[in-house]
Amino acid sequence: VQRSPHRLPLIAAPPHAHSLCRDHNHPVSNKRNSSTSNRELIRCVALTRIIYGDGHWQLAQAFANLAHSYLILQGLPAQAIEHAESAKRTMLIGIRMPAATPEDKREILGTLVTIYFTLGHIFLVVFLDCSTGKESYLSLQKAERLMEELQELDGRVSMGLKISEKDLVIALGRTCLQQNMLDFATSYFEKAVDAVISTEGDTAPELINLYQKIAQSEQLKKNHERAIAYLLQAHSICMALHKKLSVEAAQTALLLGKAYAATGDQQHIGTAEMYFTESLIAYQAALGAKDSLTLTAIEEFSKWLVYVGKKQSYFPEHSRRKQ
C-alpha cells in the first residue's frame, strides 16, 4: 500500500514513543554516550517513518535531530548535511498540513530552527569559501527569524528546543565576522555576552572567547582602544580561572601584546613588551621552550622588537638564558 504524505498516522503510536525519542535529544557528556544517543536517534527516524509516513513534520523533526547530533556530537558534517536536507525536504511536504494544536506549531517552528541552524553551522565551519559564507548567513538569519516567531507565540522559547538563543547569536557573529560584516558581528557577540552573563555570571569561561571575537572585529575596524578593552576583560577572566603560568594565560597575554603593538603608538611600546614577555614566560613554563606555540610567540615578539627598532630580537636573549 502506498503511503500518502498527507494522511494521519498509519498506525497508533506506541505509548511514549516520541517522548522516548526526545529523551535522547539532550546533550551528552562523552563520545561513548554520544554514539549511543546517535543510534537511538536513527531508530527514532525509522519509528517515526513507520508511524507517520514519509511526509509528516515529525519525520522532519527526527531527521533534524539526527542531523544536529551528527554535527555537534559526532563531528560528521557530511552526514549532518544529508539529514538536514532530508529534514528540509520532508518539512516542505509536511508543513502543508495545518498544525493541529498550538503545541504542534511550536514543535514545527523549533524543528525549522534546528534545520536552518544546522545547515548554517555546517556552511560556517566546514565550507569556508565566499559563496558558502553567504549561505551560512542566510540560513542562520532564517533560524533567527523563526526563533523570534517562536518567542512571539507565548513569550518564551520551548524548553525542548535544541538550539539556544546564545548558540544562534554566536554562530551569526562568527559568520558576520567571516563575511567582514563587522558591525553586525560585534552586535551579535555582545548579545551572546549578555546571555552568558545573565545565566553564568561575569566570570564565565565562555566569555574569554567572546571578548576575543569582539576584539578581533574591533581590530579589523581599526578601533584599537576598544579591542584592547575587550582583550583586557578576557585576560582578567583568564587569570581568575587559570594559573598565571598556564597556556590559557599565555594565549590571552600574547593577544594583548599584539593588540598594543598594533596601535603603533610610542606610549604603548612598554605595555606591549610587558604582555609579550608575560606570554613567553607562561608558554615556557607550561609547554617548554621547544613547543611550537612557544616558538611562535618568540617569533611574534622578535619581529615586533625589530619593527620598533630594538637592536636585539628575543632569540639571542632567549638563547643566552638557556645556556
Between 20 and 291, name the one with better pLDDT. Answer: 291
Report d(CA 163, CA 143) in Å as an integer.
9
pLDDT bracket for residue 104 (50, 70, 90): confident
Here the cell at position 97 is 498540513
Region 257-263: mean pLDDT is: 96
The pLDDT value given to residue 147: 93
- Is residue 313 very low, low, confident or very high in pLDDT (cuts 50, 70, 90)? very low
Q: What is the pLDDT of residue 92?
A: 85
pLDDT at 156: 63
pLDDT for position 218: 97
Average pLDDT, the chain: 84
Would you say residue 136 has pLDDT above 70?
Answer: yes
Top-confidence residue, 183 or 92:
183
Residue 6 confidence (pLDDT):
38
Q: What pLDDT band is residue 273 in, cutting at 50, 70 and 90? A: very high
Local confidence band at 31 (pLDDT 50, 70, 90 cut-offs): low
Q: Name the residue type at position 72.
A: I
Q: What is the DSSP letter of 201?
A: -
Name the residue with cell 590559557: 248
Q: How confident is the model at residue 309 (pLDDT cuts 50, 70, 90)?
A: confident
Closest CA to 318 of 286, 277, 287: 277
Q: Which residue has the higher pLDDT, 8 or 268?
A: 268
Kindly tell me if the per-residue pLDDT of 4 is higher than 60. no
Average confidence (pLDDT) over 123-147: 82
- 164 touches 192 (CB < 8 A): no
> Is the separation of the CB atoms in 280 and 294 below 8 Å?
yes
Give the max Cα distance, the chain. 85
Spatial distance between the Cα atoms of 136 and 59, rounded to a whole number of angstroms: 24
List CB contacts of 96: < 8 A, sequence separation 6 or more: 6
**Full-model pTM:** 0.82
Which are the contacts of 301, defined by CB distance < 8 A and separation ≥ 6?
257, 276, 277, 279, 280, 313, 314
User: Distance between CA 275 and CA 57 in Å, rounded?
Assistant: 55
Query: CB count, 10 Å around CB of 86?
Result: 19
Going 266 to 270 to 275 to 279, the CA torsion angle's sign is positive
Q: Of 109 and 24, which is predicted with more confidence? A: 109
**Residue 34: pLDDT above 80?**
no
Q: Dihedral, CA atoms, 166, 169, 175, 176, nearest 10 degrees?
A: -140
Q: Which of 132-136, 173-177, 273-277 has the lowest mean pLDDT?
A: 132-136
Nine cell digits for residue 208: 574569554
Q: What does 100-133 look like in DSSP terms, one character per residue? A: SSHHHHHHHHHHHHHHHHHHHHHHHHT--SHHHH
Q: Cβ contacts of residue 146 below 8 Å, gap of 6+?
A: 109, 112, 113, 116
CB 68 within 8 A of CB 47: no
Please report the pLDDT score of residue 322 as a whole number.
42
Q: Are 4 and 56 in contact (CB under 8 A)?
A: no
Mark out the alpha helices in the chain (DSSP H runs): 17-23, 31-52, 57-68, 77-94, 102-125, 130-154, 165-178, 182-200, 206-220, 224-241, 247-262, 269-287, 292-307, 314-322
Whole-angstrom Cα distance, residue 53 to residue 56? 6
Domain boundaries, the chain: 180-241, 244-323
| Stretch among 90-99, 172-181, 265-274 having the lowest mean pLDDT | 90-99
Q: End-to-end CA distance of the chain: give it in Å, rounded.
A: 83
